[in-house]
Amino acid sequence: MEPRVAFEIGPIKVHWYGIAVTLGILTATFIASRELKRRSLDVALAWDGVLWVTGFGLVGARLYHVLSSPNDGVSGGWAYYSQNPLQIFAVWNGGLGIFGGLLGGTLGLWLFTRKHGVPFWIVADSAAPGVALGQAVGRWGNYFNQELYGGPTGSSWWGVTIDPPYRIRTPYADYTDLATFPPETRFHPTFLYESVWNLIGFALLIWLSRRWASRLREGDCAGGYLVWYGVGRAWIELLFRPDAWTIGSVPTAVLFAAAFVVLGVGVLVANRLSVPLSTQRA
């Protein structure tokens, strides 16, 4: 059985990637329901809204991946999918761009809150910690798919080994060259770095939302998430991703990460320049 497949039910193959992403979605929804309850809102909003957020998020994540131009020495991105359109739907093989997912999911959340007449920022604040934790869980799908790893660690014990069929080839290094990079070579597990970063972000957001509840304003948790995730993704891309999709010489993910940081800081600053704290909900 393929290493990416967890088990088979007749002709149906259940992939580890799909299991990890599903667990991440369920985790994020559960945390959002608890945060909504703490804010005296109906917990059913989380379970009703997850269909909107997940649906729009998956479309956005897949489009980001399909339109990207990976720097991995293979015919990927739009150059590949334009010639193999049916593969656009093969999400079980990997290929969900998180920035597209976050943008699509945010659109879905905004439409959902508009439809149900609930405050967008309060719901976004409730969702933010869960999104961070859900990402921490979902990133392990990349481990099973043997993707989103960095260059060699130079260590005999730290890092992940990658099977030859899943090795990347870049203009700077050819990891498919087994003479230079033998099968036991260990590579930086960038998916793990991001998973740990998001786990810490989840803990911080939960702590702040309770410790400073009386001082926080609507949108602060969501803004804090944008800043935290943007900073983390930027250093991971800059230091460890030799196959990153680039615009010019800059990894595209770094540009998106910087935009997230600017937007998050903008939300936090605007909150403190506009509405007095006494009018905000704790």
Tell me if 155 sits within 8 A of 186, measured CB to CB: yes
pLDDT in tens, 109-142: 999 999 999 999 999 999 999 999 999 999 999 9
Average pLDDT, the chain: 90
Predicted pLDDT of residue 73: 53
Confidence check: pLDDT of 207 > 80 = yes
β-bridge partners, 152: 187
- Phi, psi at 8, each rounded to 5°: -125, 140
* CA dist., res. 72 & res. 66, Å (int): 14
Would you tell me the crossing angle of helices 44-67 and 98-116 to the nearest 10 degrees? 140
Average pLDDT of the segment spanning 74-81? 71
| CA pseudo-torsion sign 116, 120, 123, 124 | positive
pLDDT band of 210, cuts 50, 70, 90: very high
**Could you state, in order of their start, the residue ranges of all structural domains in the chain?**
5-279
pLDDT in tens, 224-263: 999 999 999 999 998 888 877 888 788 889 999 999 999 9
Tell me if 204 sits within 8 A of 211, measured CB to CB: no
pLDDT in tens, 156-180: 999 999 999 999 887 777 899 999 9
